[in-house]
Amino acid sequence: MRLRIINPNTTVAMTHKIGEAARRIAAPGTTIVATQPADGPVSIEGHFDEAISAVGVMEEVLNGEKDATDAYVIACFGDPGLLAARELTRAPVIGIAEAAFHMASLISTRFSVVTTLSRTGIIAEHLLEQYGFRHHCRRVRAAEIPVLDLEEDGSSALARIIEECHRARDEDGIGAIVLGCGGMADLTETISREVGLPVIEGVTAAVKLAEALVGLGLGTSKHGDLAFPRPKAFIGRFEGYSNLTRER
Amino acid sequence: MRLRIINPNTTVAMTHKIGEAARRIAAPGTTIVATQPADGPVSIEGHFDEAISAVGVMEEVLNGEKDATDAYVIACFGDPGLLAARELTRAPVIGIAEAAFHMASLISTRFSVVTTLSRTGIIAEHLLEQYGFRHHCRRVRAAEIPVLDLEEDGSSALARIIEECHRARDEDGIGAIVLGCGGMADLTETISREVGLPVIEGVTAAVKLAEALVGLGLGTSKHGDLAFPRPKAFIGRFEGYSNLTRER
Amino acid sequence: MRLRIINPNTTVAMTHKIGEAARRIAAPGTTIVATQPADGPVSIEGHFDEAISAVGVMEEVLNGEKDATDAYVIACFGDPGLLAARELTRAPVIGIAEAAFHMASLISTRFSVVTTLSRTGIIAEHLLEQYGFRHHCRRVRAAEIPVLDLEEDGSSALARIIEECHRARDEDGIGAIVLGCGGMADLTETISREVGLPVIEGVTAAVKLAEALVGLGLGTSKHGDLAFPRPKAFIGRFEGYSNLTRER
Amino acid sequence: MRLRIINPNTTVAMTHKIGEAARRIAAPGTTIVATQPADGPVSIEGHFDEAISAVGVMEEVLNGEKDATDAYVIACFGDPGLLAARELTRAPVIGIAEAAFHMASLISTRFSVVTTLSRTGIIAEHLLEQYGFRHHCRRVRAAEIPVLDLEEDGSSALARIIEECHRARDEDGIGAIVLGCGGMADLTETISREVGLPVIEGVTAAVKLAEALVGLGLGTSKHGDLAFPRPKAFIGRFEGYSNLTRER
Amino acid sequence: MRLRIINPNTTVAMTHKIGEAARRIAAPGTTIVATQPADGPVSIEGHFDEAISAVGVMEEVLNGEKDATDAYVIACFGDPGLLAARELTRAPVIGIAEAAFHMASLISTRFSVVTTLSRTGIIAEHLLEQYGFRHHCRRVRAAEIPVLDLEEDGSSALARIIEECHRARDEDGIGAIVLGCGGMADLTETISREVGLPVIEGVTAAVKLAEALVGLGLGTSKHGDLAFPRPKAFIGRFEGYSNLTRER
Amino acid sequence: MRLRIINPNTTVAMTHKIGEAARRIAAPGTTIVATQPADGPVSIEGHFDEAISAVGVMEEVLNGEKDATDAYVIACFGDPGLLAARELTRAPVIGIAEAAFHMASLISTRFSVVTTLSRTGIIAEHLLEQYGFRHHCRRVRAAEIPVLDLEEDGSSALARIIEECHRARDEDGIGAIVLGCGGMADLTETISREVGLPVIEGVTAAVKLAEALVGLGLGTSKHGDLAFPRPKAFIGRFEGYSNLTRER
């Protein structure tokens, strides 16, 4: 199967890291295509960044539709554009936040999230509510590191994440920790070893969920509210979206 | 005060209608600037349309910031880009769905929503959940009319909306009806008279809420998760968003 | 329009303060009639005080109905008698707790309440649940000051409220603070300046919401469960309520 | 033990019926004192009636405190003044709505409520939400009979209630029915026999719950928010409530 | 009436203690039969212990059915096998966790639970959610004592429970404490005296609730999902459950 | 990997069918061991059947622990003994109800469940609540067929399931259907083709989720409340569970 992982920000190094993490975990028959939008923010740290990034996510899904894609992963912890992306394809589309929440709820009764900046906590909270995991998550914690610090050698980012994970383990009454940023895709093992409980990261979780759905022959339902967009005119820069052919 | 009403779709006739409805209801000192994005879909009937339209909403907010805007209204019932728009300004930003829900809950104990297409019902449901009105809304109903039918003379759209409103009144145990589309901004009185109970429409509700907030000296909190976006690089088409000056 | 603000307790000084706060914020065309019951407690600090005060609220609404009232505000943070009052009139009736919650949710994603005594916290919690704002409110805090201390010169009440507001700002992860007592109607600006985030107070919020509803031509729905009370006999002291004429 | 059953309306015949139902079910050592306010509505069919009736409930609790009362029952399905009444006494105070909901949830997984008028359904819904039984109740149904029809010989009230109970049994997927009016206290057996599933009525349920709490040595907690009212001045008709002696 | 109290663990001393606590509280006409399974764990401190203990609970209910039992109590705070046991009988079956939660919610607005081990907290949380008391319970606390320490003379168990109850009283904003273990059935008075607020323990609460239901003529509904098990074959060790006669 | 699928009932034909369905879907490297308890009911159609079956599930997990098992699936739609089973192993344990709910929520916004008998609907409802999917499920429907009818040639079971699925599709506003019985493991394709929307069945979903978790190196958290059972004495028939060695 051909799995397109869309890093919604435009930092190529992060796409590379995410792609590598995905390849390490993917099944033998899975080809990972890691990509990022041509246009958009270098990191996603709030609602505005996320709203803009969603356009790039859409474009990468449309590109994927021309590339025989079997499944998509949206590799930013806010799952930007998730439901919109689902409208564009019959393939499954998985967000890394939802993937991590689902997996965490299967191996623990309660988990905490450790994310980058506290200002993005509200995004995680809204997703937990929409997806149904509000009561499974004890607390959304922030290590207070900007996303791109995760890309810098010698940054103290890892140490601060581990420190926050220790607090989560000791104070929250949890069985597992969810890492709340796509840029943490390579840290799972290190943190899990340090902290001594299961650590779930969304990119890898989403790859395996996508493989699972494809294996089941399941894709996004085209019956009801995730059906292909109604064909219509778009104008200006977005003219290209006019009358998208429904059956790809 | 200067109130910028952003019609998130690109149908000028609808912007005009929305602007007119707003002007009829606005206080004497309120100047209504009705606008729509330069780029985007002619109507919004699903998650994809909404995701694309959010970019235009952002641009219209940024335009508004250069135009001494005191408050913003996002005039599509899915409140596209609402939290993102709030990050961009100290002014209040009101979505017409939230405005209608708030007002309906102040004059009735339970209400129903009558929207255009059933496929958009999920958008209303998610907003009801996020805003806290899930239990105040008995039912989200659809008249099954495309949004742009509301712009066509001689269409049966109004008749079908009224028919669905009658059903809501007779079957749902409600005290009020919320109209679920910005394109219904001119229908409130007619429908209310026909159906015999209060009918709330979001554009007018949002104008009055925006005036209320401005009158109170309240604007979007810049403390915490609605603070201005962190300055950063954007690339490609969105390069212009790089390092947005925080203090406008 | 003629707006009747009912201070549910019988402390005239508080009525005066509430009336002044309302007048400062009211639109030019709004006449504020501030009033309090002839009978009842001098302050409301629990369920019993509230239950008794509701009778006075009813009487003041009935008085208002003879006085061409366009809207009512119930100016105690427990919104005593709110739904009962709505049955008595076609005009909108707004409680100051609900008003503050609605406004806070429009300018922040999460807020905290700072009220007078911790024993009244449960009243705020029940209202948050009923109105749908449970998840928007991080915490209900008490400054542990009796209500009437707010009326005394030289009291330490303001200092203690500010102190609690600082804690809310620093510990709760919020964007705004709701002041939980009608007697704080004159403190909003001072506290907001001290604490550095938006502070919402219910009296002023309710005045603007009432103006907004009247501006929209919306009043309490008389269809369904807020219809006028069924006419019937009352006996004893309440005989005067017998067979209230429905159409006022 | 001495159990004071307060019929919150002023219809003596209903008090008599409620008292009789209570005596039939009471344990040998329980003395039933059935009473009603001197002042107030002859029936309670909405929020206004309920708000006024709460004053009489308070007075009857205060009368009870002078009468060595061991427990109180508030015998109207809206539980008017329940939390306020609890502040006035160390004895347990039970509302008949809560009593019925508790008992129904112990013998079935899901129940429906059959009440008198649909306009009072909202009161039951709010109580279900506050008490925690929202998901245990499938539906609140109304037989559309005024409360006092239950007192009239030859009325069709019973037949209509039974008819609605049959619908509840056949359509709602329930195991039990809760009767939603104190005036139905004598109908439980008849209806249960007719409908063929357990029927719970609040007066009798509350009597047994009150006996149970007294048997356990449990009364209303005076620690925290149900403590005795803070002593203070009341003026006018309610002057007698000034500085209520805390320890009765 | 004949009340069978089933201690789901196999520690006879605990059965004895539970039986004594029940007899002290039971009404004159109530005969207490305290029993425990022939097979199973000596204490219940997790999901596995609970799952195994449920078999013994079933057997004790079936034994009770041959012994003219009028009501059952399941005396472990996880309410193991509660709904299954209800299928087996027309009599009421009460779990001690639910009993304690119901009673606590009748005398306080908010309570906390103090249980033995933190690992069992999740069981209490799941029950609070299922029964509807999630928002009535502020916190589930653990004294971190193994269940059988409660049976040992000279253990520090009581001191640690009291210490945790003090913390609950001082930090949680509650009106009552629920003791979260059947083995605490004899500690209620001591703890309540020490801590100064109402302490509810489930065994005694369940006895009185069972008496209340029997007094009302109410038993487990046999209409719908708690009907007798469908007759069928069981094999192996459980062959004896084949085709249980429905009408006992 | 070695995946043990435990059919909690004792009908070997159903185990065979479930095993076949699992093998068809399993990845090349996955060995399916399909098994059922030696003791217990031939079908599970209520709480009692489920409680008894949980013992067999435990035994099959313990057997699996001696058989180098990498993951477990509990193949009954009530997920009997799920949390208890998780305590016994470091491997992941997946219930088929949860598996189906998770997968359905990834490809649709709302789904309905079609199960066998309406009396088991409550089990599904409780699971939906505990897992967080209450609002994702529109309705739990029953085809009113006993479980073992699914094993009989020439039964009308399939036709009735399909009929109910058509109703779900047409009336519920859904995007997917969840089949609510392990015995339907071979019907997914047929039904999906007939009904025209995605149909999710739990056995196959659970196999892929188990593979996903194993692929991620994730197993049941042993930190916190799913840790191995505390070692202790069991007596009688269950003596063999005494002091289970913790580290398997």
Q: What is the ipTM of this complex?
A: 0.97
Task: Give dist(CA C52, CA A136) in Å, integer.
Answer: 42
Q: Which amino acid is at A58?
A: M
CB D96 within 8 A of CB D75: yes
Average pLDDT over all residues of chain C = 95
> What ranges do the domains of chain D cover?
2-95+205-241, 97-201
* Distance of alpha carbon A149 from alpha carbon A151, whole angstroms: 5
- C13–D contact, CB cutoff 8 A: no
Rounded Cα distance, F76 and F73, in Å: 9
- pLDDT band at D245; cut points 50, 70, 90: low
pLDDT score, position E238 = 95
Interface probe for B, chosen from D122, D137, D140 (most Cβ of B below 10 Å), is D122
Q: In the numeric block, which tokens belong to residue B60?
A: 């219209």
Residue B243 pLDDT level (bands cut at 50, 70, 90)? confident
Is B155's pLDDT higher than 90?
no
* pLDDT tens digits, one per residue of D59-86: 999 999 999 999 999 999 999 999 999 9
Å between B187 CA and nearest CA of chain D: 29
Mutation for C interface: A125, A134, A140, most C CBs within 10 A: A125
Q: Check CB contact under 8 Å for C106 and B83.
A: no
User: Distance of CA B57 to CAs B9, C43, C218, F129, Å?
Assistant: 9, 47, 29, 37
* Beta strands C2-6; C71-74: pairing state: parallel
Q: Which two tokens stand for residue E171?
A: 């930090």
Q: Give the mean model confidence (pLDDT) for residues F133-156.
A: 92
Separation between Cα atoms, residue B177 and residue B137, nearest integer Å? 9
> Does position E203 have pLDDT exceeding 60, yes or no?
yes
- State the pLDDT at residue F153: 80
Span D99-151, pLDDT tens digits: 999 999 999 999 999 999 999 999 999 999 999 999 999 999 999 999 888 88
Contact B76, B9 (CB under 8 A): yes
Residues A82 and A127: beta-carbon distance below 8 Å: no
Residue of F nearest to A91 (CA): F107
CA-nearest of A125, C199, A123, A83 to B226 is A123
Residue F237 to residue E119, Cβ atoms within 8 A: no
Q: Do F81 and E225 touch (CB under 8 A)?
A: no
Contact E215 D208 (CB under 8 A): yes
Q: How many alpha carbons fall within 13 Å on the CB side of residue A143?
A: 27
Q: What is the pLDDT of residue E154?
A: 78
Q: Give me the pLDDT at residue D46, please.
A: 97
Report the pLDDT averaged over residues A106-129.
97
Q: Looking at chain E, list the stretches that DSSP marks H as alpha helix, in order from N- to C-terminal side.
A: 12-25, 47-65, 82-87, 96-107, 121-131, 157-171, 188-195, 202-215
| Kind of pairing between the strands at D40-41 and C234-235 | antiparallel
Confidence of residue F246 (pLDDT cuts 50, 70, 90): low
User: What residues have CB less than 8 Å from F247, skipping those under 6 apart?
Assistant: F228
Candidates B122, A225, D105; CA nearest to F135 is B122
Say yes or no to pLDDT of C123 above 60: yes
Instruction: Look at D109 and F121 and tell me if their CB atoms are within 8 Å.
Output: no
Q: Which of C68, C120, C142, C129 is nearest to C98 (CA)?
A: C129
**Average pLDDT taken over every residue of chain D:** 95
Contact A175, A197 (CB under 8 A): yes
Of the listed ranges A119-133, A139-153, C64-78, F75-89, the least confidently predicted one is A139-153
Q: Is E109 on the interface with D (CB under 8 A)?
A: yes
Who among A106, A197, A224 is closest to F173 (CB)?
A: A224
Secondary structure class of D136 (helix, strand, coil): coil
Res. B248: pLDDT tops 50: no
Contact (Cβ atoms closer than 8 angstroms) between residue B49 and residue B43: yes
A224 vs B119: CB contact, 8 Å cut-off? Answer: yes
Chains in contact with C, counting 3 or more C-beta pairs less than 8 Å apart as contact:
A, B, D, E
Is the per-residue pLDDT at C247 higher than 60?
Answer: no
Tokens at D72, concatenated: 């109180």
Rounded average pLDDT over D11-39: 97
Residues of A in contact with B235 (CB under 8 A): 10, 38-40, 42
* Helix (H) / strand (E) containing D2: strand D2-6
- Distance from C-alpha of B88 to C-alpha of E139, rounded to nearest angstrom: 39
Are E42 and F235 a contacting pair at CB < 8 A? yes
Q: Which CATH fold would you assign to the domain E97-201?
A: Rossmann fold (3.40.50)
Round to whole Å and give the CA distance between B84 and B89: 10
**Angle, CA of B43, B45 and B51, to the nearest 5°:** 85
Q: What distance in Å separates the CA atoms of residue B177 and residue B161, rounded to the nearest whole number?
A: 11
**Chain B interface, best mutation among C87, C107, C222, by max B CB count within 10 A:** C107
Q: How does pLDDT run across C20-32, given as a tens digit for each residue?
A: 999 999 999 999 9
Residue B126, pLDDT above cutoff 70: yes
Do the chains contact at C173 and A118, CB–CB below 8 Å? yes
Instruction: Quote the pLDDT of residue A151.
Output: 85
SS (H, E, C) C27-96: CCCCEEEEECCCCEECCCCCHHHHHHHHHHHHHHHHHHHCCCCCEEEECCCCCCCHHHHHHCCCCCEEEH
Domains A2-96+205-241 and A97-201 share a fold: yes
pLDDT of amino acid C248 = 47
Q: What is the pLDDT of residue E248?
A: 47
State chain E's mean pLDDT as an integer.
Answer: 95
Contact B122 F110 (CB under 8 A): yes
B2-96+205-241 in CATH: which number? 3.40.50.12500
Percent of chain F with pLDDT over 90: 92
Choosing among B120, B122, B129, B144, which should be mutated to test the F contact, i.e. which has the most F CBs within 10 A? B122
- Here the tokens at position A42 are 């270098």
Q: Is 90 exceeded by the pLDDT of residue C155?
A: no
What's the residue count for chain C?
248
pLDDT attached to residue A245: 65
Q: Is E110 on the interface with C (CB under 8 A)?
A: yes
Average pLDDT over residues D24-50: 97
Tell me the torsion sign for CA atoms C105, C111, C117, C118: positive
**Which three-class secondary structure state does DSSP give residue D107?**
helix
At residue A248, does pLDDT exceed 50? no
Model confidence pLDDT, tens digit, residues F208-245: 999 999 999 999 999 999 999 999 999 999 999 998 86
E156 has a chain A CB within 8 A of its CB = no
How far apart (Å, rounded) are the C-alpha atoms in residues F113 and F100?
A: 10
Give the residues across from D201 on adjacent strands: D179
Q: What is the mean pLDDT of chain F?
A: 95
**With contacts defined as CB-CB under 8 Å, which chain B residues touch C197?**
221, 223-224
Residue E92 CA to residue C221 CA, distance in Å, equals 44
- CA F242 – CA F235 distance, rounded (Å): 8
pLDDT of B29 reads 94
Instruction: Please say whether the beta carbons of D86 and D93 come within 8 A.
Output: yes
Distance of CA B199 to the CA centre of its chain: 15
Of the candidate CATH numbers 3.40.50.12500, 3.30.70.1060, 3.40.50.1000, 3.90.1640.10, the domain formed by B97-202 belongs to 3.40.50.12500
Q: How far is C239 from chain E (nearest CA, A)?
A: 33
Chain A: residue whose CA lies nearest to E122: A109
d(CA C190, CA C234): 47
Mean pLDDT of A65-74: 97
- Each residue of C48-59: pLDDT tens digit? 999 999 999 999
Model pLDDT for residues C165-195, shown as the tens digit of each residue: 999 999 999 999 999 999 998 999 999 999 9
Count of other CB atoms within 10 angstroms of residue B195: 22
Q: How far is B81 from chain F (nearest CA, A)?
A: 20
The answer to whether D81 and D146 are in contact (CB under 8 A) is no
Fold for D2-95+205-241, please state it. Answer: Rossmann fold (3.40.50)
**pLDDT value, residue E243:** 82
Structure confidence at residue B152 as a pLDDT band (50, 70, 90): confident
Q: What is the band of D192 on the pLDDT scale with cuts at 50, 70, 90?
A: very high
CB C12 within 8 A of CB C219: no
Q: Kindly state the helix (H) or strand (E) to which residue D199 belongs, with its residue range.
A: strand D199-201
Pick from C235, C161, C157: nearest CA to C195:
C161
Contact D53, D80 (CB under 8 A): yes
